Amino acid sequence: MRQASIKIYRGLQSVNITANNLDLRRVVLRAMLSTLGILALTYALFVGLLVFNIVERKNLEKDMQVLVTEVGSLELEYLSAAGNIDLELSQQMGFQEITASFATKRSLGSRALDSNEI
């Protein structure tokens, strides 16, 4: 029995599995390189999008400054025009002063509640 186990052990040691091992190594290497390539492309895409968004934000900030300046000038124009408006100007423009008529409050009546209703 001992001799049989020794023969099996020596037989297992002499088996050549390197041919299979090289194919497996190539497959693993290709998979790793493919994964690395995909990750590199994804990284480049994210960096490109980041740079694009930064440039776009800078352009929007410039546009915002232009709009803030324009709003400021329009507010100044409004304030100067609001100071010049009076009754004579409004009459020249065709507006008329109206008299206010107020509604009067009339009693709608009363309702008697029973003593135990609440």
Domain boundaries defined on the chain: 2-89
Average of per-residue pLDDT values in the chain: 83
* Residue owning tokens 């693993």: 28
pLDDT at 118: 56
Position 66 scores a pLDDT of: 97
- List, in order, residues 6 or more apart from 87 with CB less than 8 Å away: 97
Q: List C-alpha distances in Å: 26 to 20, 21, 23, 61.
A: 10, 9, 5, 52
Nearest CA to 39 among 51, 47, 50, 27? Answer: 47
Stated as kind and residue range, the H or E segment containing 59 is helix 18-84
Q: Which residue has the tokens 């040691």?
A: 13
The pLDDT assigned to 10 comes to 66
pTM of the model: 0.47
Tokens of 90: 């409004």
Quick one: pLDDT band at residue 20, thresholds 50, 70, 90?
low
Gap between the Cα atoms of 95 and 8, Å rounded: 115
